[in-house]
């Protein structure tokens, strides 16, 4: 009797041990392994350091601009009126010439990319893995895609680039890129299987797990690069996907030309840049040595100069900075 009354009272007071209809979410780090937690912490520190460096660079750029402005004003103030006017006119003419040159280069780029839609090698970035990545990893992949587009636009014979499975957060982050809506690139919400439903036999998924080595690029084929950062968590996922879909696979002939210090897996931008260089030079070795960082090669491979689908973050090399600093509104 007492037990029944006590239970009734608890129910009235809302003290019954029933499931909480709005349970507090378990912190993400608690559901991760120790390895994953360390990696997440490392990534967070990297992002923080990167943001700090970006802010410092912005401040430095502002200081440099202010210094140059003062130097210019001082230079003008020290000149007689007639020489000052000549110098100003000369500067205006140089600026006009630069603008005309940029406009001409932009027009040529648009023409090349438009032509590539008709005759260029089809290369697809498969974006259907976004649900497996963190926000920062998606951001990293977006940066890689931006670099791919910039490099392709500089090629004398660019490829016909595709983004398939472009939706959700991936699409949202891409849309934030300056001028993305004007990019001359195919943007498909649907998968490549649907986009090329009538050409399934022509699809070739590039994956380091394939036993087939790619020796030549076939202009009739559609080469697919998996858009996935940090493939260590998802080993063999692209190979498995291709097998389930019944499409061809292949891997770049890296092992025939150099020894890697780790796996033969590269970032999306590295794979696409290698393909673009090979399209222009027909030289695998030269393409590999120009694109693959020295840190990923053994000491014996030291000539010149991130898996085949995607890993690592985009490296802040000077070459890459120059690429990304160019306006991408065309």
Q: Which residues are catalytic?
A: 230
Tokens of 41: 């912490």
166 in helix, strand or coil? coil
User: Please, how many CA atoms are within 13 Å of residue 268, restricted to the half-sphere of its CB?
Assistant: 30
Burial class of 84 by CB neighbour count within 10 A (0 to 12, 13 to 18, 19+): middle
Alpha-carbon distances of 59 from 66, 318, 323, rounded to whole Å: 11, 19, 21
What distance in Å separates the CA atoms of residue 180 and residue 182, rounded to the nearest whole number?
A: 5
Closest residue by Cα to residue 238 from 293, 192, 277: 192
> Token match 């290369």: residue?
123
Do the beta carbons of residue 255 and residue 211 sit within 8 Å? no
The counts of H helices and E strands in the chain are 10, 6
Q: How many CB atoms lie within 10 A of CB 185?
A: 20
């Amino acid at each position: 009797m007492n037990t029944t009354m006590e239970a009734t009272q608890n129910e009235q007071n809302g003290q019954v041990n029933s499931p909480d209809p709005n349970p507090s979410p378990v912190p993400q780090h608690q559901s991760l392994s120790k390895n994953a937690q360390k990696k997440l912490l490392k990534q967070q520190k990297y992002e923080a350091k990167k943001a700090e460096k970006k802010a410092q660079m912005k401040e430095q750029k502002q200081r440099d601009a202010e210094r140059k402005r003062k130097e210019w004003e001082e230079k003008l103030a020290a000149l007689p009126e007639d020489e000052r006017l000549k110098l100003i006119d000369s500067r205006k003419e140089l600026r006009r010439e630069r603008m005309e040159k940029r406009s001409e280069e932009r027009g040529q780029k648009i023409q090349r990319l438009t032509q590539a839609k008709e005759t260029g090698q089809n290369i697809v970035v498969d974006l259907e893995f976004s649900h497996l990545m963190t926000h920062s990893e998606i951001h990293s992949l977006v940066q890689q895609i931006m670099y791919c587009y910039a490099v392709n636009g500089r090629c004398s014979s660019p490829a016909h680039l595709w983004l398939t499975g472009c939706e959700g957060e991936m699409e949202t982050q891409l849309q934030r890129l300056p001028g993305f809506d004007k990019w001359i690139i195919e943007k498909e919400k649907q998968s490549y299987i649907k986009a090329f439903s009538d050409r399934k036999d022509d699809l070739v998924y590039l994956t380091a797990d394939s036993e087939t080595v790619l020796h030549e690029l076939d202009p009739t084929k559609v080469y697919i690069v998996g858009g996935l950062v940090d493939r260590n968590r998802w080993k063999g996922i692209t190979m498995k996907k291709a097998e389930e879909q019944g499409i061809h696979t292949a891997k770049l002939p890296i092992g025939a030309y150099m020894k890697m210090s780790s796996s033969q897996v590269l970032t999306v931008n590295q794979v696409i840049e290698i393909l673009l260089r090979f399209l222009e030079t027909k030289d695998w070795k030269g393409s590999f040595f120009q694109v693959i960082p020295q840190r990923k090669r053994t000491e014996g491979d030291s000539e010149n100069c991130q898996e085949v689908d995607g890993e690592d973050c985009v490296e802040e090399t000077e070459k890459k900075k120059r690429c990304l600093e160019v306006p991408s509104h065309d």
